[in-house]
Amino acid sequence: MDLELRHLKIVRAVAESGSVSKAATRLGVAQPALTAQLKRIERALGGALFQRDRYGARPTPLGELVLSRARVLLPAAQELQDEALRFANATAGGYRIGATNGPVLGGLVDRLAAAAPVSTYTSWSSRELALMVAQGRLDYVLAGACGDGVPEGDIAWHTIGIDPVFIMVAETHSLSGEKEVALSDLADEQWAVTPGDGCFGDCFAAACTRAGFTPCTMYETDVATCVHLAQVGRAVVLCQATHPFAPGLVMVPVAGAPLRWRQMLGHHPGAPGASWVAAHAKAAHADAVRRSPVYHDWLIRNPGFGTSP
């Protein structure tokens, strides 16, 4: 039997799990089948790899030798696979873009599609999208982070823009005609927001604490439901200042911009043309700012936000 990478994965799994039964559960195979496979691997390598007793499985000196090589070979093989995927996708033409909820994706797709095919993938999780870029399954990701943060993920990030978080309320709401509102004026409201895996919820709670109150009910749901809850007066929506107009709703700035959202473009460090794509993403963000009269007017009084230079 020739040794294969899957055999090394089995040896690693047994060593890390401490027993054949736990390794079988981890690998999703039956224990008898894994035991038989391990015996075939040991025959191919010339001796026992583990000392097995009622306390579990411990590597023998031969097992330690094999494990030391496996810990080098397995990551190297995965890196090769990821790099090959990135190379194949880069040379095949086209762009694969992942995005969370935000203002940039539509405009970026429109711009890039004029030059090459574009495919998109959406998720509430910026971590999931960043991992897909790192694995070569996506070329770029559009995501956001609260305040000065950067989305999680071992990839390169460009700042596209920094936006304040506004509120969206029904036209009939008592504060709908205000130029801006203090967060403390909303102490008795219920809230709605789109989900994510960053720190926004904690930052919002901290901002409310500084304003002297603890927020009431928070509905974490999709954009359409957030809009509906605001339209019927059930909740105040926390939204990016670039949020498109919705019938029956009014966007109102929050005094002092206690919450802000950093729009980011992520890509593999070696991605060709990343600066060019980032420039198009910034142009798409600038268009979204221009489409929001409330935000455009607010920016005149509050420099330091908006599209990154």
The confidence band for 85, taking pLDDT boundaries of 50, 70 and 90, is low
- Say how far apart CA 162 and CA 305 lie, in whole Å: 5
Say if residue 302's pLDDT is above 50. Answer: yes
pLDDT band at 29 (very low <50, low <70, confident <90, very high): confident
Question: Residue 93: pLDDT band by 50, 70, 90 thresholds?
Answer: low
Question: Percent of the chain beyond pLDDT 90?
Answer: 64
pLDDT tens digits along 180-207: 999 999 999 999 999 888 889 899 999 9
- 130-145 pLDDT per residue, tens: 999 988 889 999 999 8
pLDDT of residue 91: 47
| Residue 174: strand, helix, or coil | coil
The pLDDT value given to residue 162: 95
pLDDT single digits (tens) 155-182 = 999 999 999 999 999 999 999 999 999 9
Check residue 19 and report its DSSP letter.
S
Structure confidence by residue, pLDDT tens digits, 64-76: 999 999 999 999 8
119's enclosing H/E stretch is: strand 118-122
Element (DSSP H or E) covering residue 128: helix 126-134
Q: What is the pLDDT of residue 111?
A: 92
Out of 4-8, 209-213, 241-245, 266-270, least confident range: 266-270
Q: Residue 40: left if φ>0, alpha if ψ -120 to 50, beta else—which one?
A: alpha
How far apart CA 185 and CA 97 sit, in angstroms, is 39
104 C-beta neighbours (distance < 10 Å), count: 28
Residue type, 246: A
**Residues 34, 24: contact at Cβ < 8 Å?**
yes
Residue 87: predicted pLDDT: 57
- Mean of per-residue pLDDT scores for the chain: 90
Question: Would you say 6 and 12 are in contact if contact means Cβ atoms under 8 Å apart?
Answer: no
Token pair, residue 124, equals 């509430």
Residue 307 three-state SS: strand
Q: What's at 169, amino acid-wise?
A: V
Residue 303's SS3 state is strand
Least confident residue range of 20-24, 159-163, 231-235: 20-24
pLDDT at 106 over 50: yes
User: What is the predicted pLDDT for the residue at 92?
Assistant: 56
Q: Which residue has the higher pLDDT, 160 or 52?
A: 160
pLDDT confidence of residue 86: 61
* Cα distance between residue 93 and residue 115, in whole Å: 10
Distance CA 26, CA 34 (A): 11
- Report d(CA 121, CA 141) in Å as an integer: 9
Torsion over CA of 202, 205, 209 and 215, rounded to 10 degrees?
Answer: -160
For residues 147 and 305, the answer to whether their CB atoms sit within 8 Å is no
Buried b (16+ CB within 10 A) or exposed e, 58-77: ebeeebeebbeebeeeeeee
How far is Cα 119 from Cα 267, in angstroms, rounded to an integer? 15
What domains are defined for the chain?
A: 5-81 (1.10.10.10), 95-307 (3.40.190.290)
Look at residue 248 and give its three-state secondary structure: coil
Residue 155's CB is within 10 A of a number of other CB atoms, namely: 20
pLDDT of residue 88: 60
Confidence of residue 103 (pLDDT cuts 50, 70, 90): confident
